[in-house]
Chains A and B, each alone.
Chain A
Amino acid sequence: MSDKPISVNENYDQQYGFHEQEKYVFKAKKGLSKKVVEEISGMKEEPDWMRAFRLKALEAFLKKPLPGWLDPELLSQINFENIYYYLKPTEKQGKTWEEVPEEIKNTFDKLGIPEAERKFLAGVSAQYESEVVYHSIHADLEKQGVVFLGMDDGLKKYPELVKRYFGTVIPPLDNKFASLNSAVWSGGSFIYVPKGVQVAIPLQAYFRINAQNMGQFERTLIIADEGSSVHYIEGCLPAGEQVSTGLRWMNIESIQTGETVLNSDGEEAAVRATRARPYRGDLITIEPLSGENRFRLTPEHPVLAIRREEVRAPRKSRGKWLGEVNTAKLLAAEPRFVEAGKLCRGDFVVFPIPQTTRDDSRYTIPVLRLLGFYLAEGSTFVHRTLRMPVVVFSFGSGDSDRPHVEETKRLIQEVTGKRAIEVANRKNHGTSVLVYSQPLRDLCLENCGKGAATKELNKTLMELPPEKQAHLLETYHFGDGSRYQRAHTMVRASTASKALARQLQELLARQGHYATISLRPGGPDIILGRRITRKDQYILYHSPDRRMGEVRRRGNAFLVPIKGIRRDPYEGPVFNIELNRAPNAYLASGFAVHNCTAPVYASDSLHSAVVELIALPHAHIRYTTIQNWSKNVYNLVTKRAIAHENSIVEWLDGNLGSKLTAKYPAVHLVGRKARGEVVSVAFAGAGQHQDAGAKMVHSAPETSSTILSKSICKDGGRASYRGLVKVYPQAENVKSSVRCDALLMDERSRSDTYPTMEIDAKKVSIGHEATVSKVGEEQLFYLMSRGLKESEAVTMIVNGFFEAFAKELPLEYAVELNRLVQLEMEGSVG
C-alpha cells in the first residue's frame, strides 16, 4: 500500500481538492467582554440602538446564573471563555450571485448551491461561519414584496421594521442564553411577508458550525402580516459526504439530482438530492482486497460491513496474521452500517452485484462476441487517403491466435455482411483483420468507445442478461486476457482504461466472480527492444473455479475483506447524495456505504439561536426545524411566537443530534381565536440529553393549542418533556390538548415528563395525556411473526412512532428523518 493519499475520483485533487484560505475580515478574540461586543457592533456598522441592545444583553448574560433546572452536569461543561463569538468571512454581503465575493462564490459554486436554488428553493440563506454570505430570493416573491434577507442585511435595509419588532417577542433579558444571543448575534434570517401574500414554497436556510470552538448565534425574525402565510424551514445541514458511485463510476460531485445510480442492493435508484459541505478533519481510506477499489470517506460515514471480531473462528490471531474467519458465521452474519472510523483491517465490506437486467434483441451473440474482440484488440478510424471507415482487429501471429482470427472474420461476415480482409503485419509479427464498414464502426463506437485508455461500455451492454454478457467477456479475454494454471485457474486481463476495468469487474461480478483490480503504473519501458512510454495498466484477476482469498458470496453481494485502512488529515469539500428509495445507501468504488451523518469536531460547540415569529391577524406561520447537530454541540435555543387574532402558528421541531438540546417553542396567543401548535420529536442516544417541550400561553378568549411531543431514548440517552400551558383569567373558552409519548428502547435510558398547567380561567377544556412505553412485546412479536428480524421490527415501530411528525414534513425532510432514525437505531437490538 502506498502511503500517498489517493482519491477515489480521478483528478479529484485538481478539480475538487480546493480549499479557500481563511480570509476572515475580522476574527473576534475568544471569550466575551464589552469590548468584543462593541467590536462586533462596530464591524457591522450598526445603529446605536442595536449597540445599546447588545450591551444591555451582555450585562444580563454576565449576571444571570445558568438555569438550575436544566441538566447541570452537561451544562456546567460549557466554557464560555473558550468560544469565538464572531467570525466574519468577508467584507461584503452579496445579494445577487454576481455580487458574492469570488472565494465564497467558488466554494458555493462547487457546493452546488446555485443549482439547488434554481431548481426548487425559493431562497437559500446559508450561514457560513457567522455571517450570511449568500442569499437570494425567488423573483416572483420579490415582486410580491416578500423580504427574505440575512438578519444583518435586514437591519440595514429595513431599520424601522426591525427596530419595531426585534427583541419584542424575546426580550434580551428573557433567559441567559437569549441574553447571550442578543449580545453577540450574527446572521440568521429576516422575513417579512406583506398583507395577503401566500408564500407557496417553503423558504429554507441551512446552518452549520464550521470552525472548532465556534459559537453560532443566529437570530431569526419572521413577520407575517395580516392574512399572509409562510413556511420556513431551518435545517442544520444534515451533513454530506464524499464518495463516488454508480453504474458508470461518476465522480460524486458531478452527479445531479434525477440521475440514476445503484443502491446497496445493486438496484437502480434515482438521486433525489445532492449535498456538499466543507470539511476539515480526517478522512479514512479503505482499501478492500482489490487496491483500485479503495475509497475515502469521513470517519463517521456509515459503511455496510461485517466486523471480523463477530465472525471469528476460535483460533487466535498471531502477529500480522488476522484471526481466522468462520465461514458459516460470516455467511450467517447480517451486514450492518458501521462508521468508517471504527472499521479495522480484516473487517468485511459489501460489494453488491448489480441487478438491473434489460435484454435487447439487437445484441445477438455474434454482435457481442465481435464487440468483445473489439474491446480487446480493435480500433477504428477513417482511412485518410481512401476516406473509408475502418475497423481493425490486431492479433498475434501465433497458432494460439489462429482460431480467434478465424472467428473474428466469421463474425464480421455475419454481422456486417461484408468480407473481412486479413493482413499479415510483418513489422510486429502480427495478423490484422480489417473491414471497411460504417455500421460496424458506429456499432463499436457507440458501445465501446475508442482509444485504449478511454474505452468504455455503454449502459445497454452493462445491463444485458449475464448469460449474454458472458460471450463478450469470453472473446474479450481471448484478446486482453491470459489464463494460467496454478493450484487453480487464474484469469488475468489488463486494460489501459480505468473505466473499462471497473466495468469488467462489474460484468464479472454478474457472472458470479469477484475480480480484483490493481494498478501497474505506466512509464518508460522497453518492449521488443523499442523504448516506449507505457500507459497505466489496470490489471484484473479473477478465478473462475476458486474464491479470491477470503471473499465470499452472500446473496447478491460479495463480502470482501479490508486489506488496509488509513486515516489522513483533509480539508476541502465532501459530498453526499441521497437516493429516492430505500436503502438510501450507494456504492463507493463498488462498496456499499450509507449516506451521511453530521460532522463531528474535536471540541464542543455552542449553538444558541433566538427565533421570533410574529403572526398578525389571520396570518399563518409554520416553522420547521430538523436539528442534527453533531453530538458535541450544545443546542440552547429560544423560540417564541406571538399569535394575533385568528392567526395560526405551527412549530415542527425535530431534534436528533447535539449533546444537550434545550428548546421549548412557545406561542403566545394574544388575539381571539388564535391557534398554536407544536409537534416535536426527539431522539436521544448515548451521551445525549434532549430536553424539549413547548409552551402555550393563552391570554385571549377562544384560543386553542395542541402539543404533540414524541421522544425515543436508547443506549442510556435521556429525553425530557418540559411543557407549560397557561391560561389567563380573561381567556375564556380556551381549548388545549397535550400529548406526550415516550418510547424507551432499553432499561438504561431515561424519560421524564414535566408538564405544568396554570389555568386561571373558567370554561376551558384541557386534555393531557402522557404515555411512556417500552417497545411493545406484542408489536415485536407481530412483526417478527411475519418474518422481520428483531432489529427491522424495532426500526419499523420507531419510524411509525415518528410518522405523525414525518408526514407533516416536505418529502425530502421526511425521508431524511426516517433515514436518520434508522441510522440511529441500527445495531440497537440483538
Chain B
Amino acid sequence: MTTPLLEIKNLHVTIEGKEILKGINLALEKGQVHALMGPNGSGKSTLSNVLMGHPKYQVTGGEVLYQGRDLASLKTDVRARAGLFLAFQYPTAIPGVSVVNFLRTAMKSRFGEAFQPKEFRKEFKAAMAQLGIEESFATRYVNDGFSGGEKKRHEVLQMALLKPELAVLDETDSGLDIDALRVVAEGINRLRGPQLGILLITHYQRLLSYVEPDVVHVMMDGQIIQSGGKELAHELEAKGYAPYETEKAPAP
C-alpha cells in the first residue's frame, strides 16, 4: 500500500481551551481532489490553519502525516518549503510590501537553489496573464486594499508559482462573482494533476461544478460525519445541512 499524501488520524484541536476539532479522520492520495463541506463554525478553517501549523491552535490528540511525515514538530515555513500550501480565506494585508517582491522572496524560499532569478519575471507575468491579472498588480502592496476577488486570484497566483504538492484551498470561492469564480476555478483546474493533491474547503456546491472533486466530506461540529462521491455535494445543495444537524446534534 502506498503512503497517502495526507493522512489525518483522530485529530483533536483546541483554541484557548475550547475544543474545535473532535477527532478528524481523512486520507488524501496524490492527484486527488477532496472537497470538505460544512456549515459555518463546523471547524473547516481551523483544520486548514492546523494543517499549515498556525501557532494559535493546540493539537491535543491524534496526528497529521504528510507524505508519511508527522507534521507536529515542523514549523509553518518548513511545511511550506516541503510543498504544503494554504490558500487563505481571509489573507492578511502586508502594507508596504509589493506583490512582486513578496512572490520573489516566497519562490526563493520554496525552491532554494533551484530558483532562477532570471526566469522569475517571465514566469510571474505568464502566471498573472493566465489568471487575468493586470501587470500593475505586481507593484501593489500584498492584500492591501484588494477586493475580495483580487485576494482570491492572488492566492491562486501564489499556488501556481509555488507549485505545491498539497494545496488546501480555504473557501477560495467565497466572495467571488460568477466571472471571477470561473477564472479562479480554471486556475485551479490548470494546476490539477497527478503530482498535486487538493483539499477544497467550501461552503457551497457552486465551485464544485467547475472543479470536480473525487471525494466529498461533510463536516459538522468538528467531525467528518459523512464521506462520498461528488453526488454528495449535489445532495447537500438540494437539502442543505439541516438534515445532518438534527441527526447529529439534537437540541438539548
Q: Interface of A with B (CB < 8 Å)?
A: 267, 555-556, 776-779, 781-790, 792-793, 796-797, 799-804
Contacts and interface: CB of A to CB of B under 8 A. Distances in A.
Given A782-B91, A784-B75, A804-B96, A796 B80 contact: no
A796 B102 contact: yes
B133 interface: no
B61 interface: no
A789 B110 CA distance: 11
Most buried by B among A267, A555, A783, A804: A783
B52 interface: yes
A786 B92 contact: no
A784 B80 contact: yes
Contact of B94 (A777, A785, A797, A802): A797
Given A555-B112, A790-B77, A792-B105, A785 B95 contact: no
A548 B81 CA distance: 31
Given A787-B109, A789-B109, A800-B141, A781 B54 contact: yes
Contacts of A796: 94, 97, 101-102, 105
7 contacts: A781-B55, A782-B91, A785-B79, A787-B109, A790-B77, A796-B101, A803-B141
Interface string B169-187: 0000000000000000000
B105 A788 contact: yes
Most buried by A among B52, B77, B91, B106: B77
Contact of A786 (B56, B95, B109): B109
Contacts of B75: 784, 790
A744 B190 CA distance: 42
Given A786-B109, A787-B80, A800-B96, 4 more contacts: A555-B113, A777-B55, A787-B106, A792-B109
A801 B158 CA distance: 22
B54 A788 contact: no
A398 B110 CA distance: 55
B165 to A, nearest CB: 13
Contacts of B101: 796
Contacts of B86: 785
Interface string B48-61: 00001111100000
A803 B86 CA distance: 27
Given A787-B162, A788-B106, A556 B96 contact: no
B80 A799 contact: no
B94 A782 contact: yes
A789 B77 contact: yes
Contacts of B92: 776, 778-779, 781-782
The 5 A-B pairs with the shortest beta carbon distances in the complex, nearest first, are A800-B96, A803-B96, A787-B109, A786-B106, A800-B97
Contacts of A777: 55-56
A267 B94 CA distance: 29
B120 interface: no
B231 to A, nearest CB: 33
Contacts of A799: 96-97
A786 B85 CA distance: 7
A787 B81 contact: yes
Nearest to B93: A779
A787 B110 contact: yes
Interface in B89-128: 91-92, 94-97, 101-102, 105-106, 109-110, 112-113, 117
A786 B80 contact: yes
Contacts of B91: 782
A801 B54 CA distance: 23
Interface size class of B (residues with CB under 8 A): 20 to 34
B244 interface: no
Nearest to B77: A784
B76 interface: yes
A784 B109 CA distance: 10
Contacts of B204: none
A797 B142 CA distance: 11
A711 B30 CA distance: 47
B88 interface: yes
A802 B109 contact: no
A613 B55 CA distance: 51
Nearest to A800: B96
Interface in B154-174: 158, 162
B104 to A, nearest CB: 10
Nearest to A803: B96
B109 A785 contact: no
B77 A787 contact: yes
A796 B86 CA distance: 20
Contacts of B95: 800-801, 803
Nearest to A796: B97
Given A778-B92, A797-B97, A800-B94, A788 B77 contact: yes
A502 to B, nearest CB: 24
A797 B95 CA distance: 8
A240 B223 CA distance: 61
B80 to A, nearest CB: 4
Contacts of A792: 105, 109
A778 B96 CA distance: 16
Contacts of A781: 52, 54-55, 76, 92
Given A779-B92, A799-B96, A800-B96, A784 B76 contact: yes
Contact of A779 (B76, B81, B94, B117): B94
Most buried by B among A779, A784, A803: A784
A78 B128 CA distance: 58
A483 B97 CA distance: 54
A783 B94 contact: yes
A802 B141 CA distance: 13
Nearest to B97: A800
A787 B158 CA distance: 12
A646 B88 CA distance: 48
Contacts of B97: 796-797, 799-800, 803
A786 to B, nearest CB: 4
A785 B53 CA distance: 8
Nearest to A710: B96
Nearest to A801: B96
Contacts of B109: 786-789, 792
A787 B53 CA distance: 12
Contacts of B110: 786-787
Contacts of A793: 77
A799 B105 CA distance: 13
Contacts of A786: 80, 102, 105-106, 109-110, 158, 162
Most buried by B among A555, A779, A782: A782
Contacts of B112: 555
A783 B56 CA distance: 15
A790 B76 CA distance: 9
A154 to B, nearest CB: 39
A805 to B, nearest CB: 9
Contacts of A800: 94-97, 141
Given A777-B55, A785-B86, A556 B76 contact: no
A361 B214 CA distance: 52
Nearest to B168: A785
Contacts of A783: 94, 102, 106
Contacts of A555: 112-113
A797 B81 CA distance: 20
